[in-house]
Structure 1
Amino acid sequence: MDNSRIMPGRLVLVFMAVAGAAGCASDTVKQETASAGTPPTHSDSRDPWEGWNRGAQSFNDGLDDYFLKPVAKGYQWAAPKFVDKGVTNFFSNVDDVSVIANDLLQFKLVQTGQDLGRLIVNSTIGMAGFIDVADKLDLPKHYEDFDQTLATWGVPAGPYLVLPVIGPGSPRGVVGFAGDTAANPINYITPASIPWGAGAGRYVDIRADMLSATKIADEASVDRYEFIRNAYFQQRNYLIHDGNPPLEEDFGGGEGIEMEFELQGVEDRATEAREKEGKDEAKPASP
């Protein structure tokens, strides 16, 4: 495949789940880390490459601080809410192509029919997906990717792995990312500037939707690296088991951290938080 056409596929799913935790750490945590001289490390059998992973996350945090977050704030300020929502819906509709393929690979035939119905309805009546008409017809949105498909086939995830730009993942997730990228129809549009531009726009839209979640993550975590790692494992396990992960498994690396970072809810919670902030700011000051 022409590398110039490879655009982020699975990365967007990961970013939606943990992007809120990928912003700046609080000043207190930064001061504690600086005074210690080195970041805190904790033994975790899932994370034998922790040294590399922390360095890659630090690079991604810098990229977010100095580029993604400012651009996302500008986009959120400039774009009307209906435009922001329409762009999100459009990319969600494109994702349904890959979702349908993975439905079939996992032999989820009923879900395949539902997702095919979503794609047809939203692509036609919903004006290429900018309006989520399928949601009003009780056709639920599902989240399937090739990483989940490989998991259902019994392929082990391997160690936790953070890559520059791509973010949290695993060796199996890298293969899944490649598969989802290949299934994205936008990547085959020429010239190559179109898929690259669409991918960039998608990142900005996602990051803007997650700005409020960043504050939640910063307040909830002492070691943000562990927070993101645990959130990643919980979110992936939630999706792989279709919302019913085995209760006996430990996804917090022994820390017992309970987080609700499932993909289906995180975007809505971020949007609600942002709307609440807007309402609070609009309230007149009391005399």
Structure 2
Amino acid sequence: MLRQSLVLFGLLVLAGCTQVPNEKIDERDPLQSFNRSMYDFNMDVLDAYVLRPVAVGYVAVTPTPVRRSIVNFTGNISAPTDVINATLQGKAGNAGVSLARFLVNSTVGILGLFDVATSLGLNIIDEDFGQTLGVWGIGDGAYLMIPGMGPTTARNLTGDVVDRFVLPKMALTTPQTVLVFALEAVETRASLIPQESLLNESLDPYIFMKDIYFQRQLYELYDGNPPVEKEPEDFDEDFLESL
């Protein structure tokens, strides 16, 4: 069934990959016409009528301490994934920190509702399977705008499937996995509300989001020390962290 779905998705991508006339081709984004259509759908339909209203309502009715606990809880659940990916990347130190965070927050932090580990100097180190594939030498592949998910690349889409659905199944049921995914999605969208002006005021929001996405991926792949001379001056660090 999964294979058939991927084939269908591939056919849809091919059907929409005709380039817009006179539009500059970005080698990272060979499916730009399709991606722009999906971007418009995400922003003008899904975000405008579903995600943003839910996020606004969530912020309005959820006290800040509760939101913080939700973030802590979902982050703690993903800590074992960080451990596995850090190990696969050969980063024994990062794997140890993530494991210690999980043990401390799962016990003293009451199932991860409180981030006690950070106060002990055990800071969050995000490691995902997309980064693991990058460390192994696998390129980004085509840039993709996925309905309901937003920007990604062929490599990171594969990594997201492994991180969100394959590895969690070792400990979580499917409903629990879906619940965690939904909580993360709502909180991520809520955290972006203060940054909306950056996107809305850009000359081309689609290009702006794509460039920011690639900057963030490079930042994560090199653990905060990407081999670039200068970062864009008009991005917001909180916006990057939320992608």
Q: TM-score, normalised by structure 1?
A: 0.71
Q: Which amino acid aligns with 1:183?
A: L
Cα offset for 1:211? Answer: 1.1
Following the alignment from structure 2 to structure 1, what is the Cα–Cα distance between the partners of residues 117 and 90? 22
The CA distance in 2 between the partners of 1:112 and 1:65, in whole Å, is 39
| Aligned residue among 236, 243, 252 for 2:224 | 243
SS in 1 for 2:78: helix
Q: Report if the CA contact (8 A) 2:89-2:135 is conserved.
A: yes
Instruction: Return the structure number with greater relative CO, CA threshold 8 A, min gap 6.
Output: 1
Secondary structure at the counterpart of residue 151 of structure 2: strand
Amino acid of the residue matched to residue 210 of structure 1?
L
Kindly indicate whether the alpha-carbon contact (under 8 Å) linking 1:115 and 1:142 is maintained by their aligned counterparts in 2.
yes
- Secondary structure, in 3 states, of the residue corresponding to 2:145? strand
Instruction: Please tell me whether residue 207 in structure 1 is matched to residue 189 in structure 2.
Output: yes
1:56 equivalent to 2:38? Answer yes
Q: Which runs of 5+ in 2 are unaligned?
A: 4-19
Q: What amino acid is aligned across from residue 101 of structure 2 in structure 1?
A: R
| Corresponding residue SS for 1:245 | coil
Name which of 102, 109, 115 aligns with 2:85. Answer: 102
Take 2:238 and 2:22, find their aligned partners in 1: how far apart are those partners? 28
* Counterpart amino acid of residue 218 in structure 2: N
1:188 to 158, 165, 172: 172
Q: Are 1:120 and 2:103 matched, yes or no?
A: yes
| Aligned equivalent of 2:50 | 67
Partner Cα distance (1:40, 1:263) in 2: 34
SS at match of 2:142: coil
- Opposite residue 184 of structure 1, the aligned amino acid is P
Distance 1:80 1:186 in 2: 32
Aligned in 2, Cα 1:264/1:124: closer, same or farther, shift over 3 Å?
Answer: farther
- Contact 1:235–1:261 under 8 Å retained in 2: no
Decide whether the 8 Å contact of 1:161 with 1:169 is kept in 2.
yes
Aligned to 2:148: 165
Question: What are the Cα deviations for residues 68-111 of structure 1, in whole angstroms up to 9, with x where unaligned?
Answer: 10011111110111001100111111121111110000010111
Cα distance in 1, alignment partners of residues 71 and 217 from structure 2: 21
Residue 258 of structure 1, CA deviation = 3.7
1:266 is displaced (CA, Å) by 3.4
Conserved? CA contact 1:53–1:162, under 8 Å? yes
Summarize the Cα distance change of 1:124–1:203 in structure 2 as closer, same or farther, 3 Å threshold. same
Change (3 A) 1:51 1:210: same
Deviating more after overlay: 133-142 vs 157-166: 157-166
Partner residue in 2 for 1:234: 215
**Structure 1 227/211 Cα, relative in aligned 2: closer, same or farther at 3 Å?**
same
Is it true that 1:266 corresponds to 2:227 in the alignment?
Answer: no
Aligned to 2:7: none
Once the two structures are TM-superposed, the CA of residue 184 in structure 1 deviates from its matched residue by 2.2
Q: Give the direction of change, closer, same or farther, for the CA distance of 1:265–1:165 in structure 2 (3 Å limit).
A: closer
CA RMSD of aligned residues (A): 2.6
Alpha-carbon displacement from aligned partner over 1:165-214 (angstroms, at most 9, x marks no partner) = 2221111112111211212258732xx44432332232212211221122
Aligned residue pairs: how many?
224
1:242 to 1:115, Cα distance in 2 relative to 1, 3 A: same
Gaps of 5+ in 1: 4-37, 251-255, 268-287
How far 1:152 sits from its partner (Å)? 0.6
